Structure formats: C-alpha cells, structure tokens
Amino acid sequence: MPTLIVNGKSYTLDVEPAMPLLWAIRGEIGLTGTKYGCGIAQCGACTVHIDGKVVRSCVTPVSSAAGKQITTIEGIGTAEKPHPVQVAWAKEDVPQCGYCQSGQVMAAVALLKQKPNPTDEDINTITNICRCGTYVRVRRAIHEAAKA
C-alpha cells in the first residue's frame, strides 16, 4: 500500500501502484482542485508538484510519487492567505471557464520558483493549454505575481 504525502499530510492508500496519481488525489484523498483534462499529459489541467517539480498527474503512477512531497492547488495558499499567483490571477481576471486554472496556477508557481522575474519567453515555456485562450491575462498575472 503506497503512502502519499500530499500538502504535508500522509495518506496510506489501498490502491494499485499503477493507478494514476490524479485519481488517487481526487478519488481516494478527496482533493478535487486538480482536474482531469486529456489523460495523456498534454493539457496540464492535472498539474501538481512532486518534490517541487511540475508533474502531469494523469500519467504519473502512484508508485512513482510514493514517499515524495506532493503539492496540489489546495496546498499553495488558503482563503485567508492566498499565494501571490492566486492573488494576481484574481487581479488580472484570468479565468473564463476556469477549468484549466488550477494547472495553470501550479505551472506558474513552479516557474516563479525557478525564475523569480521571468521574461515573456520564460513564460512561453509553460505548456498548459487554455481552451478559452486567456494567455495574455496569464502572462500579465505571472508578471504581477513576480512583483509580489
């Protein structure tokens, strides 16, 4: 039985080691902020951090995440103290439908950890897909969060 450490809390799950991490997070642990989009690691709606690195959880088996630090959208801020990226997202009115936004935010948080003052070219390395096309607002929000 794999043990997952999600947002600082330990969960021992009775699941198959090959189960996608996304389904363990959503179905077994009950954190539904991480979304299912494509199931083939292309869209990024399922983005989480494992040991600080961006990972597409829809294709990551539970076995490869066991014992590592997993951070989901629920783990980066609270309603009382949101993460600077979440503040910038709201300020720049980024979401339209909002479905991809947890993955977009997680990708932006990771980028800002690597590059605290990213260029537009750096931001272009984020490969998460937004069907609504809010990329201009995403860029503005990341630059705004970089100032925080």
Query: What digits encode the pLDDT tens for the residues 97-136?
Result: 989 999 999 999 999 999 999 999 999 999 999 999 999 9
The last residue of one of the domains, among 75, 100, 133, is 75
Q: What predicted TM-score, i.e. pTM, was given to this entire model? A: 0.95
Range of the domain at 114: 84-147
C-alpha triplet 28, 97, 136: angle, nearest 5°: 115
pLDDT tens, position by position, 32-65 = 999 999 999 999 999 999 999 999 999 999 999 9
Please indicate, yes or no, whether residues 19 and 56 belong to a single structural domain of this protein.
Answer: yes
In whole angstroms, give the CA distance from residue 93 to residue 87.
10
Alpha helices in the chain (DSSP H): 21-23, 62-65, 84-91, 101-114, 120-123, 135-147
Domain count, the chain: 2
In whole angstroms, give the CA distance from residue 146 to residue 148.
6
Give which of 100, 97, 86 is closest to 144, Cα–Cα.
86
